[in-house]
Structure 1
Amino acid sequence: MTYLDFAASTPMTRQAIDTYAEVATKIYGNPSSLHDAGGQAASAVAWARGVIARKLAVHPDGVIFTGSGTEANIVAILSLARREKRGRHIITSMAEHTSVHAAMNTLEREGFEVTRLPLTTGGVIDVDTLKQAIRPDTTLISIQHVNSEIGTIQPISKIAQLAKDYGILYHVDCVQSFCKLDVANFVQFADAISISAHKVGGPKGCGAVYLNPFVRVMPIFPGVTHERGLRGGTLDTPALVAFGVAVEQHTYDADKQWQLREKLLHMLPGKAFQVIEGQAVDQLPNIVGICKTGMEGQLVMLKLNEQNFHISTGSACDINSASGTKAILAMGKTITEARQFFRISFGGDTVMDEVVLCGEVLRNLYTD
């Protein structure tokens, strides 16, 4: 098996697995309990919270653990928007993760107005267009850091500064960029940041959201007592500690990822394959979005699967969508082009031989 779908999920690292097993065996108390077993679990959770906070360069009090990146996005958006300090207008993009759209749809049913911006032909948000969309009643901006389908890097620093200048709350989905790109140039202007464990070698069912502790928000589950009253339920201590271990050990070799990307693209006939990407400075190299002329992406995925190469047709959360990926449509592509889309994404353990073999299988589709 050759796994090339790391943007969907990564395998847990050996260290994270061993840590999970050890903590589950030895630290089984409830972190909220007042006895020593509970205190031991609380200390383990505090350690994991500190690891996440240091990686994000934020205060640990702002780190709220969730059950996923999806939940992190929903908790952040609903909690910030329902605060309604300025009004009931929100700006986001057409290419956000499904969970962001789900939160926006919920807010629209509550009477909020949502402006969804398209992407440029280079796959990024035009900051001037975003600025023009700001109104006196704009209360929240939610724009992702890296698009999960095509890997384009959004101009987050400029957007965050713009939100700060206008006094607008800002949420950024960093699920794909966490531990890969530096957040130092915008984190001081962000009111919420969403991340996920299983994208960096940690366990599934575990994520976190940073919510600025100096911003008073409206909890989506009033009355709960865990996680600053923002998310109820007993914390999964083994998963959180394994998350922290994965974060501490995660490395991202951008040079290697560029080499893998360039090799794959060099092997694909230009007449048959169209690469959907941004400028190099705006591109995360390990996510490769491609359209196969005359063939739906789902068929490409199935043909590669027959050869034991595992890729995707976009975000796993959109797998049942019949209209293709949101990013392609947001760039002005047609439905037909969107349905021809597939995604290959590399991980830290991906080697050149795997990419070459995958390229040969794809190239053979051109002659089929």
Structure 2
Amino acid sequence: MKYFDYAASSPLDQEAAELYVKAATEYYGNSQSLHDIGYQATTLLENARTEIAKLFAVEADGIFFTSGGSESNLLGIRALLSAKLKEGRHIITGIAEHDSVYLVMKMLEKEGYEVTYLPFNSEGRIEVAAVEEAMRDDTILVSIQHTNPEIGTLQPIKEISSLCKKNQVLLHSDCVQSFGKTPIQEIAAAVDTLSISGHKFYGPKGTGIAYVNPRVAWRPQIEGVAHEKGLRAGTVNVPGILAMTLAAQKAVSGLDEEMNRLSILRDVFTNHFTFLGNEVTIYPSQLPGLIGMRLHDHEGQWVMLECNRRGFAISTGTACHIGLLAPSKTMAAIGVTGKAAKEFIRISFGRQTTEEDVHSLGEFLAELAQQPEINELHRLRYGTILKGS
């Protein structure tokens, strides 16, 4: 099976895996314990915090270790709501946010907050003017993802940050799809909180980071919690954090070279569709290793299953959403609806992706794109898998 779903998850880096085992077997103390073994764990934990802060170019006091991107998004948003700069209950976010943000917003609406959801323009970006137009006297928070996880467009976070500062509004950004794939130091400097997830850049699953700018006067959600200064409860996963830190360092140090390599692979892939303009749509991406596309008149789930049958692992969107049999939120955000929205598929490259593999996938998808429209025979092949689509 050739893997083309790195945007969903990546394999654990071998050196990071070895470090995880070493830390878990030799430095196994609880970082809150006061004995020498606990102190060893604390020292390693704080060293990791310092190293991550260097990668972000921020103060180490703002780095908090979590279980992943979803928890980091929740904690970051809650922290900012506890530290709002003025009175109000209005929040601005995007239509196409990851479910870990979108569902938090739906929860907040039930708590009495009012949320404005902004669409994308035709290029997959939120217009700064749209944020400004949505801004009100009672707006207290803006949450906009840095990179769309389905088509790879980057949002104008720095410009939105300037607007937020002007209006005393705090800013959160989901950077889960960004870190290790594009530079984010300028984004870290612009926001009040951001989130990343270890398994997106070859770290272990169950690890993540919430960065909360030290100037933000947030309050703990649970009084009396000792770990991570009260931002979250639970024993800190020191082995996972160390492995994630090593993976993060490797991802950042090799970023330029990897981006160049992935750009070449992207060209190899897209060249297969040069003469299929009326049968394929490939959306513009600022992440070279992520490609969102549609094969016209071919349902995305059917294309995914056909690829799987031929030994290619692709996806129909973010892994937290694909089981819902609903159109991609990104497609809705750029105005693609109905049958066309369900044609969406996502291809993502990673370290183990070769030019030969990319050529094979591009060739196969180009063949599929030229086949007749999906018919009942295709549905019968997969039975109830496509039911409801």
Q: Pick the aligned partner of 1:299 from 302, 315, 322.
A: 302
- After TM superposition, the structure 1 = structure 2 runs for residues 157-236 of structure 1, keeping only pairs within 5 Å, are 157-236=158-237
C-alpha separation in 2, matches of 1:326 and 1:70: 17
Q: 1:367 to 1:188 in 2, by over 3 A?
A: closer
1:155 aligns with 2:156: yes
Corresponding residue of 2:147: 146
Letter in 2 for 1:316: A
Check whether the contact 1:78–1:103 (CA below 8 A) recurs between aligned residues.
no
Corresponding residue of 2:363: 360
Identity among equivalent positions (%) equals 43
C-alpha separation in 1, matches of 2:65 and 2:289: 27
TM-score after normalising by structure 2: 0.91
SS at match of 1:198: helix
1:104 aligns with 2:105: yes
Which digits, 9 at most, give the CA deviation of each residue in 1:95-130, with x for residues without a partner?
A: 111000111111111111111100001000101111
C-alpha separation in 2, matches of 1:218 and 1:325: 35
SS at match of 2:320: helix
Tell me, which stretches of 5 or more residues in structure 1 are unaligned?
none
Q: Pick the aligned partner of 2:320 from 292, 317, 332.
A: 317
Pairwise CA distance, 1:38: 0.2
Corresponding residue of 2:59: 59
Pairwise CA distance, 1:336: 1.4
Which digits, 9 at most, give the CA deviation of each residue in 1:301-358, with x for residues without a partner?
A: 1101111111100000001222211111101111212110000001123111110000
Corresponding residue of 1:46: 46
C-alpha separation in 1, matches of 2:263 and 2:19: 32
Count matched residues.
Answer: 364
1:260 aligns with 2:261: no
C-alpha separation in 2, matches of 1:28 and 1:96: 37
Letter in 2 for 1:95: A
- After TM superposition, the structure 1 = structure 2 runs for residues 232-247 of structure 1, keeping only pairs within 5 Å, are 232-247=233-248
Check whether the contact 1:55–1:179 (CA below 8 A) recurs between aligned residues.
no
Check whether the contact 2:298–2:369 (CA below 8 A) recurs between aligned residues.
no
Tell me, which stretches of 5 or more residues in structure 2 are unaligned?
372-389
Check whether the contact 2:94–2:117 (CA below 8 A) recurs between aligned residues.
yes
Check whether the contact 1:323–1:335 (CA below 8 A) recurs between aligned residues.
no
SS at match of 1:290: strand
Check whether the contact 2:84–2:170 (CA below 8 A) recurs between aligned residues.
no
SS at match of 1:202: coil
Pairwise CA distance, 1:174: 0.7
Pairwise CA distance, 1:367: 4.0
Which digits, 9 at most, give the CA deviation of each residue in 1:122-146, with x for residues without a partner?
A: 0001011111111111111111111
Letter in 2 for 1:174: C
Q: 1:172 to 1:247 in 2, by over 3 A?
A: same
SS at match of 1:141: strand
Which digits, 9 at most, give the CA deviation of each residue in 1:187-246, with x for residues without a partner?
A: 223110100100111000110100112211133333322111110100111100000110
Pairwise CA distance, 1:276: 2.0
Pairwise CA distance, 1:72: 0.3
SS at match of 1:29: coil
Check whether the contact 1:161–1:186 (CA below 8 A) recurs between aligned residues.
no
Check whether the contact 2:85–2:168 (CA below 8 A) recurs between aligned residues.
no
C-alpha separation in 2, matches of 1:63 and 1:106: 26
TM-score after normalising by structure 1: 0.96
Letter in 2 for 1:230: L
Corresponding residue of 1:340: 343
Check whether the contact 1:2–1:309 (CA below 8 A) recurs between aligned residues.
yes
Q: Give RMSD over aligned pairs.
A: 1.3
Corresponding residue of 1:11: 11
SS at match of 2:10: coil
Which range moved further: 113-122 or 216-225? Answer: 216-225
Corresponding residue of 1:122: 123
C-alpha separation in 2, matches of 1:208 and 1:30: 19
Check whether the contact 2:297–2:340 (CA below 8 A) recurs between aligned residues.
no
Letter in 1 for 2:54: R
Which range moved further: 24-33 or 267-276? Answer: 267-276
